[in-house]
Structure 1
């Protein structure tokens, strides 16, 4: 896995990093849901009917799950940890929309136990890209954020992989340029040649488009 080390600017990341903002919202929702379900449990116990106790058990389980999400999210939301754990990947602006843009990224969905890489195209809509020109074809180095939604899930592929721009973690243009230069030219060219697939990727349910290994450049075959 290709890592990229740099000093994360936490203040900058808190202001612009949309992944961190999403995780913060998830934390608030988790804690809020736990409180509501906890109050519902207390009410059902107060009702003191057989059916209310059955519902109370379900409410307790839901409250425990929501509380776990709320408490676990801050640990995951540490932006420096997210950047350290991710793999450096290329992303290219495929569409512009005022100050925002749509990125098309090349990611490896394979888990460590898989037999070789499984490349796919994924998209991400961003509101801002500090340090970049918002134009089609702009090269945006990023890192992957990998998630398995189901605990103990099986299979060789990650359920969800998204791209988080390096520019959301630093103001230093030299860092962005260094990350860009560490990505092979063949990867940038593959994205540039497939910009027209961005709309197709956004329309599929899985939000990703697996690439045929036989059609990849030799340098990307496992």
Structure 2
């Protein structure tokens, strides 16, 4: 797995990193749901009917699950941990609009015990890309993020993999350029040649498009 080490600017990441913002919202929703379900449990116990106790058990289980999500999420939301754990991957701006852009990224979905890489195209809609020009074809180095832990994988492939731009973790343009240079040219060219597939990736239910290994450049066949 190709790693990329750099000093993460946490203040910058808190302001612009959309993955961290999503995990933060998940934490708030989890704790909020736990409170609501806890109050519902208390009410059902107060009703003191056989059916209410059955519902109370379900509410307790739901509250425990929600509380776990709310307490576990902060560990996932540590931005330096996300960058350290991710694999450096290429992403290219495939579309721009008035509110942001769409990135097309090349990721390896294979789990560590898989027999070779399994490359796929994934997309991500972003509102901001500090340090980049918002134009089609712009090369955006990123790292992979797997938001769901379990039971989210099927067989030898991860089920949910997304791309998080390096630019969401640093203001230093030299760091972004260094990350861009550590990605092979053949990977950038593969994305550039397939920009027209971004719409197809967004339309499929899995939000990813597996690439045929036989149609990949020799350098990517593992």
Q: TM-score, normalised by structure 2?
A: 0.98
1:160 is paired with a residue of what secondary structure? coil
C-alpha offsets along residues 109-160 of structure 1, whole Å, 9 cap, x if unaligned?
0110111100000000000000000000000000000144533855111110
1:90 is paired with a residue of what secondary structure? strand
1:147 is paired with a residue of what secondary structure? coil
Give the number of equivalent residue pairs.
222
1:152 to 1:17, Cα distance in 2 relative to 1, 3 A: closer
- Whole-angstrom CA distance in 2 between matches of 1:99 and 1:5: 30
- Whole-angstrom CA distance in 2 between matches of 1:94 and 1:78: 29
Point out the more displaced range, 1-10 or 144-153: 144-153
1:131 is paired with a residue of what secondary structure? coil
1:132 to 1:217, Cα distance in 2 relative to 1, 3 A: same
- Whole-angstrom CA distance in 1 between matches of 2:183 and 2:198: 20
**Which runs of no fewer than 5 residues in structure 2 stay unpaired?**
none
**Counterpart contact for 1:102–1:125, Cα < 8 Å:** yes
**Counterpart contact for 1:110–1:117, Cα < 8 Å:** yes
Point out the more displaced range, 99-108 or 134-143: 99-108
1:207 maps to 207
CA shift for structure 1 position 90: 0.1
Q: CA RMSD in A?
A: 1.0
Matches within 5 A, 1:73-92: 73-92=73-92
**Counterpart contact for 2:107–2:144, Cα < 8 Å:** yes
2:89 is paired with a residue of what secondary structure? strand
1:167 maps to 167
**Counterpart contact for 2:104–2:123, Cα < 8 Å:** yes
Q: After the TM superposition, which segments of 4 or more aligned residues of structure 1 sit over 6 Å from their partners?
A: none
2:195 maps to 195
CA shift for structure 1 position 98: 2.2
Q: TM-score, normalised by structure 1?
A: 0.98
**Which runs of no fewer than 5 residues in structure 1 stay unpaired?**
none
C-alpha offsets along residues 88-120 of structure 1, whole Å, 9 cap, x if unaligned?
000000000125100000000011011110000
